[in-house]
Amino acid sequence: MSHERVVLRGACAVVVVALLAGCAQMRVGSVWKDAEYRDGPMRRVVVMMAGQDEAVRRYAEDAGVRGLPAGVEGVPSYRLFERQERDLDRVKARLAREGFDGVLVGRLGATERIRTRVPPQVHVVPEPFLGPPWYRSFYRFYPYAWSSVYTSPGYTVETTRVSAEVLVYALPDGRLVWSGIVEADNPESKAALLAGLVGATREALARDAVLPGGK
């Protein structure tokens, strides 16, 4: 079985967050946590998505808030900043005024196409014990020896693997305290993938005491 990989890297970064039923199964890969972070678990967080499509942003941020565990108050960033706010001082002032513990951000990463070659397979159809009468004599069996053997042709399976990054920043200082990589094979759409990150990383975030446990 052979593998061929083609990696496509998008030019734009998209922030993502939350779980959509029906999205491809996601795997949490490498995870990093600031070992000196002791202020968790966070109880009030901003769920933020940065992208050019305002509809996708609102959809993903709403889904992200719904995907947070019990005990966390989540606010989608579009409720704080209706448009993409470029004034960093205004962003800092608003976040400080609202008293948030942190910001949960996601970013769409690479898209990788994996082609797996499955070679031809030889199949033997089993016969009942002792088989028909001609099984009992080699010379009678010989003409039928390969009659129940067939070969299926080889084929290629293509998998689209998309990765994304989840980042959690502590407020008010804004330092990175947690990051994780999430992968999904053959997501039904990038929008669906964007809507699955909180659900995929919730257990890891709780285990690292960044968010509380529970559903």
Contacts of residue 87, defined as CB under 8 A and 6 or more positions apart, other chains included, come to none
* The residue to which tokens 């900043």 are assigned: 81
Report the amino acid identity of residue 189.
S
User: Where along the chain do the CATH 3.40.50 domains lie?
Assistant: 2-116+157-207
Instruction: Decide: 171 and 177 in contact? Cβ < 8 Å.
Output: no
Q: Tell whether the torsion through CA atoms of 34, 76, 71 and 182 is positive or negative.
A: negative
Q: How far apart are CA 63 and CA 198, in angstroms?
A: 9
* pLDDT tens, N- to C-terminus, the chain (215 residues): 555 554 444 333 343 333 333 446 888 888 999 999 999 899 999 998 766 778 878 888 888 899 899 999 999 999 998 777 788 899 999 999 999 999 999 888 888 899 999 898 876 665 555 556 656 677 776 766 666 666 778 889 898 888 888 899 999 999 999 999 988 888 877 777 777 788 888 889 999 999 998 65
Q: Does domain 2-116+157-207 have CATH number 3.40.50?
A: yes
The tokens describing 137, both together, are 């004599």
Give the chain's radius of gyration (CA, Å): 26
42-69 confidence digits (pLDDT tens): 999 999 876 677 887 888 888 889 989 9
